[in-house]
Structure 1
Amino acid sequence: MSDDFVGAASGESSGSPARITVLVVTADHEWGRSTKATLETSPEPLEVLVDSPDVALRTLAERRIDCVVYACRSSELDLGAVRSASHRRATEIPVVCWGERTDVEPTAALEWGATDYVRSVESGGSRLVARRLRSYGEWCKSRRRAVRHRSGDGRSSDDGVGRAAAKPERGVRRREPLPIHDAKIRALLTAFPDVALVLDEDGRYLEVYAGTSSESLLIDPPNELVGQRLGNSIPPAQASRIRDCVDRALESGDVQTVEYQLEVPAGTRWFEGRIAPIEERLAGSRAVTLVARDVTDHKETEAELRTREAHLTQAQAVANFGSWYEDLRTNELEWSDEVYRIFGVSDADQLPATSDRFFQFVHPDDEAYVSRKWEAALEGAPYDIEHRIVADGETRWVREKAEISYDGDGEPVRAIGVVQDITDRKEYERRLETQNEQLDVLNRIIRHDLRNQMNVVDGYASLLEDRLDADDAIASRIRTAADDLLAISERLRTANRLAAEEVDRHPLSVAELVDDALATVREEYDEFEYEQSVSDGQWVCGTRELRTALENVVENAIEHNDSRIPRVRITADDRPDVDAVDVRIADNGPGISESERDLFTGARNRSQLEHSNGVGLWIVNWIVSSVGGELGLETDPERGTVVTIRLPRASPPAAESAARAGRGD
């Protein structure tokens, strides 16, 4: 009968073989004597002891045993106790199960804790059995030699390099362990920033390597991990992922990569494991190497980048704004997700971005314009254009802006740009232009047709007034109404002029503004009193329309005053804290109505003007705001109204400063 082993036996030892002591454990004395005779008569130099299970543990404690053999029928042997006894001797002793074909299956024996399993052999096969036992014994002795290099307190004397190896598995003699005192190996492991593991196909740690700086990345010390299975040392989810990767590496023969997270002494860390299959079997099993690198910093950086990219994508979506990049040497074009959305592309994978693809979206009437602008940009011209695209059959407007980089020879090499959907803005501009055209027509009607017709009405009312009795007020009322409408027309003409003209701000004398406004009002109104307190040295930055604003405020104070004699007081106060001048116009009238006051506090829309006085105040606010000023209102039925016009302070013109210096002011 040919030899029938679970694993292949290793070769012969070289050199003068050392004697190996084998302990045969069995309750069957006849089988024990037969086995002892078989092993001792083999060419392998073996010393064979035979003990019953109850005596074997004492022998293990007292004698230096290199290998244990027990019969499968000896189920009373406590393999856990054997392992504990061997640990007390600092080296785990290999245990080989020797059985008949009718005994337990090999897998069951290994699950019970045996190192290896062999079946009985006929004459001539005993040498192979002995050779196997010798290989286990030699491994055990080599482990004892490694222990001698440790210091008395049990710590390694190899400069902090953690290295542990498992016993040979299933009948294959291990190669001699790397000498831990070897300076080159010690230096290599000390400098090694990663963790290296050797795992068998069942996920058991065979060897563990870690340098001084990386040992804190191991979940347990190296010597405690060896012999354990992944599922017993790390969480099930991570163990399952690594085992799957080990299986793929063994099946494919290629390097596999896996990422996992563990709680280790160094903290919560992310690892990238690279797993490569080992060509030779180790301890009768297929095996792999796993090099685990700490990639926590890399993962955190990636997470931060993903967060920033998410924020950028969200911001681009909110603003209808996308970005793109083009390598001008290879014509490779990259679009952000928002660009694809603007162009109506739902699946970017189905439509890769290219320059030719971009022009397929450009409106046919704008292709030549866009192409011309882009060619000019490649020559150094700015690229900031608005054009139409056709997206999902709909015409939309976009704005594009780009910056182009050049190499040392002045050749364009790359471009980065943005594209924004401005369809809504273009639609608003179109509606605004239409409204402006309508307002322009209405304004011409008011300024010309209405004014001309009201002049006719006023003329006929004057003739009618001459022909009627003095006591008849009909003609006078007609003329008053006509005059009011003409005043509205004048105010609208002023508003139209303010809207059409460019604002040209320059220094203005507050005293001159007030004097001119009072002079104009005195020509219209006889019955009113006024007082002014304005310094000649006060200057503001504004336009000539400020005089119109002052006129409107003073006229309003007189026209809507129910006192017997209207009174107006104008003062100007410097406000250096806000770099401004406050011009205050106070009257003794009933105050401005609540509805008109709401126009300037924002409580009512300014389109809700009720009469010509509202138009006048609106124009005043418009003029003051156009020069960077502010309009304030304070009103009280008993004390009247105070209108405050705050204007930006200005230095006097150079000529005025020279004149004042000549006068000694």
Structure 2
Amino acid sequence: MSETAARTLAEHVGLAAAVLDADGRIAFANAAFEERFPASEGATVEATLADATNETAGVDRVTDAITRVVEDDAVDEADAELTVTTDTPRVYHFRVVAVDGEDAAAVLEACNVTERLESTPRVGTILGRIAESFYAVDDEWRVTYWNDKMADRTGVPADEIIGEVAWDVFADLEGSELQARYEAAMASGESTTFRTYLPEPFDYWVEARVYPDENGMSVFSQDVTEEVERERELERYETIVENANDAVMIKDCEGRYRLANDAVAEYTGRDTEAILGRTDEELFGAEVGERIRERERTALEEERRITYEERVPTDDGQVVFETTRIPFYEGGELAGTIGICRDVTEQVAYESRLEARSEQLELLNRILRHDIRNDMTVVLAVLDLLSEHVADEEGADLVEEVGERAQHVVDLTATLRDLMTVVLDETEHLQPVPIAGVLEDELADVDAAFPRAITRIEGDLPDGAVRANEMLHSVFRNLLKNAVQHNDQDLPEVVVSATATDDAVTVRVADNGPGIPDDRKRKVFGRDEKGLESSGTGVGLFLVDRLVDEFEGSVRVEDNDPSGAVFVVELPRWRPDTGFDAP
């Protein structure tokens, strides 16, 4: 359209019209335009639409349409609507059409849609093409207008609903909040905007802008289901953030706080209002602030999530955070970082104590394994030599007693060494261990250590392996020694037997000692059940229980016949098809 044609159209068209320049300002307005908008009279030329209509609320929708047509060559026309507040609110539909001219860029047409001038074909065309769903009813709720968007959304074409009572066509909406709000607006004559949920069979949210007058009511209706769901999801997230124990924050790309929950305020000792808009340098000082900022830069520059440990001074001392920084985007552009800081101060302190304790245990373990054990080996060797030079019986008894005590120390260091291996988690991964070889080795050692005891294997030991590791030797070493050391018979006897199924191997270590009462059968595996001053180690059975549990097996005590106790150990078999070699 040429500039001349635009002015001619603006002068003679029945609608209120104006010609806009390249800046979107009014270059010319016809008489109908000035009559519709008295605020523009005498001050129309070079006025903006906001100046001309004397409106601010909602005018952005129209100015956005003007901008699209004026600035985008690909857009020839656009539509928008605006409520103009005069004595009675009026709803105008604006249509912007591109113009080809030096001083003109577009024609702006304004149509008062509240009057529902269906007799004017131009109005019907405009209302049919607007982006929102629009309809009108008279004061008896008969539909007088129904645009294409309403037909598409409801599946009811205009020719089937015009002249019909709205509540007869949509009987499912009778008694709904929508009907109640419409009737209230009609009764009061006041414009209103509200959102409501339409129940089945509609099942969506609408935003209705209602403009009643003496003849009925006009409604702009928009499906806002997605927006409502986003808002509800945002509310849920905000509730989670505000009630989270973790400090949660959002910062822009310059490191300034845009959001901080109550936990951030608590940790910093400042109100949320004193945090927003500030940087960590301003809150914590240059050194700490720059350290935090460097981490944020990493997340921003590499556009990835990072997690690290961060120490931040507070008014009460220092807090250790496990911090995660995540870049976030707005409109497809990198906008800043989301930070989640979990207070791990107590956890870090606990881990430090554990580390110190582990170091102390490792030192003690080295002393037990090397220094004490080596020294006691020398003591035993010297006692053997000394026994050859002691002639009287009393002296020989003393040498023998010292030797027994020394051997007890050696046994004790071996048990404690095994226990610390478990405590320090230095055991190997579970693997196949031949059960027969372990039992034969440990029986041979007990025979050598206790020559006055009888030890034997009853029946054949099963072939194959169980799921265990090198600490399986410690299990049976402690059970066999326990059977001898706590035996009250002049001639201790220990019998070992084993059976196997497809899934497990069961080993029974039976003795002829005093037995164990029922009320102590479980307690004997307690760490403090036996004192270190006794002939046993006091922790041997506790160690047995711990190790068997690690092997995913079980251990229990039964009565022997006619006397004594039977320790029953069940261990899972290792089968090649499992490929089992896990921690």
Structure of larger gyration radius: 1
Give 2:194's aligned residue: 258
In the alignment of these two chains, the number of paired residues is 434
Q: Does 1:397 align with 2:320?
A: yes
Gaps (5+ residues) in structure 2? 1-113, 169-174
CA deviation string 1:158-193 (max 9, x = no partner)? xxxxxxxxxxxxxxxx9896259x799499679998
Q: 1:366, CA displacement in angstroms? A: 5.6
SS in 2 for 1:491: helix
For the structure 1 residues 344 and 546, does the alpha-carbon distance in structure 2 shift closer, same or farther, using more than 3 Å as the test? same
Q: RMSD over aligned Cα, in angstroms?
A: 5.7
Aligned partners of 1:348 and 1:435: how far apart in 2?
Answer: 41
SS in 2 for 1:513: helix
Aligned partners of 2:444 and 2:538: how far apart in 1?
Answer: 23
Q: 1:551, CA displacement in angstroms? A: 1.2
Residue type of the partner of 1:391? Answer: T
1:273 is aligned, of 208, 223, 226, to 208
Residue type of the partner of 2:321? Answer: V
Aligned partners of 1:417 and 1:523: how far apart in 2?
Answer: 66
For the structure 1 residues 524 and 335, does the alpha-carbon distance in structure 2 shift closer, same or farther, using more than 3 Å as the test? farther
Give 1:546's aligned residue: 472
Does structure 1 conserve the Cα–Cα contact (< 8 Å) formed by 2:177 and 2:196?
A: no
CA deviation string 1:422-456 (max 9, x = no partner)? 11201212333444456567667877579969998
Q: Does 1:384 align with 2:307?
A: yes
Aligned partners of 1:405 and 1:300: how far apart in 2?
Answer: 21
Give 2:481's aligned residue: 555
Residue type of the partner of 2:440? Answer: D
For the structure 1 residues 215 and 244, does the alpha-carbon distance in structure 2 shift closer, same or farther, using more than 3 Å as the test? farther
Aligned partners of 1:587 and 1:486: how far apart in 2?
Answer: 24
CA deviation string 1:350-372 (max 9, x = no partner)? 42266xx2355668776665555
Aligned partners of 1:341 and 1:259: how far apart in 2?
Answer: 35
Residue type of the partner of 1:634? Answer: V
SS in 2 for 1:504: coil
Aligned partners of 2:280 and 2:524: how far apart in 1?
Answer: 50
Does structure 1 conserve the Cα–Cα contact (< 8 Å) formed by 2:328 and 2:334?
A: yes
Give 2:427's aligned residue: 503
Give 2:540's aligned residue: 616
Aligned partners of 1:324 and 1:574: how far apart in 2?
Answer: 59
- 1:101-500 matches, cutoff 5 A: 178-179=118-119, 185=124, 194=133, 196-197=135-136, 209=145, 211=150, 214=154, 222=165, 238=181, 257-260=193-196, 270-275=205-210, 289-295=218-224, 298-299=227-228, 302-303=231-232, 306-307=235-236, 310=239, 317=244, 320-322=245-247, 328=253, 335=259, 337=261, 340=264, 343-344=267-268, 347-352=271-276, 357-360=279-282, 370=292, 380=302, 383-402=306-325, 418-436=340-358, 483-499=407-423
For the structure 1 residues 592 and 442, does the alpha-carbon distance in structure 2 shift closer, same or farther, using more than 3 Å as the test? farther
Gaps (5+ residues) in structure 1? 1-173, 226-231, 250-255, 655-665
Residue type of the partner of 2:464? Answer: Q
Identity across matched positions, percent:
21
Q: 1:510, CA displacement in angstroms? A: 2.2
Q: Does 1:531 align with 2:471?
A: no
For the structure 1 residues 549 and 269, does the alpha-carbon distance in structure 2 shift closer, same or farther, using more than 3 Å as the test? closer
Aligned partners of 2:412 and 2:187: how far apart in 1?
Answer: 88
Q: 1:240, CA displacement in angstroms? A: 10
Give 1:567's aligned residue: 494
TM-score, normalization by structure 1:
0.50
2:441 is aligned, of 498, 516, 520, to 516
For the structure 1 residues 484 and 341, does the alpha-carbon distance in structure 2 shift closer, same or farther, using more than 3 Å as the test? farther
Q: 1:493, CA displacement in angstroms? A: 3.0
